[in-house]
Amino acid sequence: GENVEQHPSTLSVQEGDSAVIKCTYSDSASNYFPWYKQELGKGPQLIIDIRSNVGEKKDQRIAVTLNKTAKHFSLHITETQPEDSAVYFCAARTSYDKVIFGPGTSLSVIP
Amino acid sequence: GAVVSQHPSWVICKSGTSVKIECRSLDFQATTMFWYRQFPKQSLMLMATSNEGSKATYEQGVEKDKFLINHASLTLSTLTVTSAHPEDSSFYICSARTSGRSTQYFGPGTRLTVL
């Protein structure tokens, strides 16, 4: 079935450094890739998304890249701040119009 | 941005009882709503997809008679956990999407504890 893998599972960075989270997907027909941030006890919040006809998208300190051939996509957060600490999920919309989530990355930004 | 609310935010019930969770889209028409379940330190697992006015489509392994989903209007979907058992204790999250758009907006979640 459809699968989304995500690495690393935990990531600790110093404030001001960059953080990179990588994901792979299995369904080559996937065409939409959102990223969500989830704080403890809350629902996921969409932070950025990218469609398959675009290779890169940036929104202030956050950027996402997509390699359709390799079925890879990545999240880049620059100039990290303590409030960036949360669990981040990548996701992919499959050919069955379902959004499948990766297992998540727990990001800690150390002041 | 689009806002999705859930009620209640948390609920505690006795084993064998039923619990209803509401999901509302506050400022857009949700033609499709999704229900997810999330266990501690795990990812979101899709339980079912519902389109307004139609029967929900359940994922493999999700009992449709236990998790009743109703999506009777463009702003409201409900999930009823029937005959709840302790193993049903989890964080239930809904999301909503409008016709023709890819983006799903998530609610704040409902923490269910079954004693």
Each residue's pLDDT tens digit, A60-101: 999 999 999 999 999 999 999 999 999 999 999 988 788 999
Above 80 in pLDDT, residue A4?
yes
The minimal CB distance from A103 to the residues B43, B93, B111 is found for B43
Which residue type sits at A107?
Answer: L
Residue A60 C-alpha from the chain's centroid:
15
- In this prediction, residue B53 carries a pLDDT of 83
Name chain A contacts of B105, Cβ cutoff 8 Å: 46
Contact A101, A90 (CB under 8 A): yes
Question: How far does chain B reach from its first CA to its final CA, in angstroms?
Answer: 37
A7, A23, A42, best to mutate vs chain B, most B CBs in 10 Å: A42
Below-50 pLDDT ranges, chain B: none
A54 Cβ under 8 Å from any chain B Cβ: no
Above 80 in pLDDT, residue A1?
no
What is the pLDDT averaged over residues A36-42?
95
Neighbour-count burial for B9-21, b at 16+ CB within 10 Å, e otherwise: eebebeeeeebeb
Name chain A contacts of B46, Cβ cutoff 8 Å: 98-100
Residue A43 C-alpha from the chain's centroid:
16
A36 Cβ under 8 Å from any chain B Cβ: yes
Question: In percent, how much of chain A has pLDDT > 90?
Answer: 89
- In this prediction, residue A97 carries a pLDDT of 83
Backbone phi and psi for residue A80, each to the nearest 5 degrees, phi listed first? -60, 150
User: Rounded to an integer, what distance in angstroms lies between the CA atom of residue B107 and that of residue B98?
Assistant: 14
Mean pLDDT, chain A, as a whole number? 95
The alpha helices in chain A, defined as continuous H runs, are none
- In this prediction, residue B7 carries a pLDDT of 97
A32 Cβ under 8 Å from any chain B Cβ: yes
The residue in chain B having the minimum alpha-carbon distance to the alpha carbon of residue A92 is B102
Structure token pair of residue B72: 């009777």
What is the pLDDT averaged over residues A42-50?
95
Above 80 in pLDDT, residue A23?
yes
DSSP of B26-79: SSS--SEEEEEEE-TTS--EEEEEEETTS--EEPTT--TTTEEEEEEETTEEEE
Above 80 in pLDDT, residue A21?
yes
What is the pLDDT averaged over residues A30-41?
95
